[in-house]
Amino acid sequence: MTFRKYLVLAGVSVFAPVGDSLLSYGMKQIGNISLTHFSELLLAITNPWVALGILFLLGFFASYMTALSFADLTYVLPASSMGYVLLALIARFALHENISLLRWLGILLVSTGVGFVTSGPELTRRPPRQRRNDGEVAMEHS
């Protein structure tokens, strides 16, 4: 794993929860949208928080695709679940929300899971004959 790959995984972890939070904040400013006023949903992107949230979610998707291009799915998913922990820590220390004991236990379990998976190899080793579009051998990426 290179520093660039860790940065991509950090991108997956950070962009998704921050994007979701921005969308949630923006949509609460807009208020309830009824199905009879569906056009209001399209205008929602003019809200700066919603627009910023969408940008973050696009960033998430780009980092997620990049991560899946060099690491196994069973590595990327648990490793990027640090985002849940990050969201809880933001809620506790930035928004001063109360975090229950069960939630702290959840944070501990998720962090342990992330520790397990990141201590192993990120890609299943394949026979060298499997070549990729960029001409590199799959084994060279580990």
Cα gap 57→19, rounded to integer Å: 5
Q: Give the amino acid at 19.
A: G
Q: Does 136 bind other proteins (CB under 8 A)?
A: yes
Helix or strand or coil: residue 12?
helix
Site for other proteins in 58-117 (CB under 8 A): 64-66, 68-70, 72-78, 81, 84, 88, 100, 102-103, 105-114, 116-117
For the chain, how long is the longest CA-to-CA vector?
58
Minimum distance between the CB of residue 107 and other proteins, rounded to whole angstroms? Answer: 7
State how far Cα 124 lies from the chain centre.
Answer: 22
Restricting to residues 116-135, which ones interact with other proteins according to CB under 8 A? Answer: 116-117, 119-120, 124-125, 132-134
DSSP lists the bridge partners of residue 117 as none
Query: Distance between CA atoms of 98 and 122, rounded to whole angstroms?
Result: 35
Q: How far is the CB of 62 from other proteins (least distance, A)?
A: 9
Interface positions with other proteins (CB under 8 A):
4-5, 8, 64-66, 68-70, 72-78, 81, 84, 88, 100, 102-103, 105-114, 116-117, 119-120, 124-125, 132-134, 136, 141
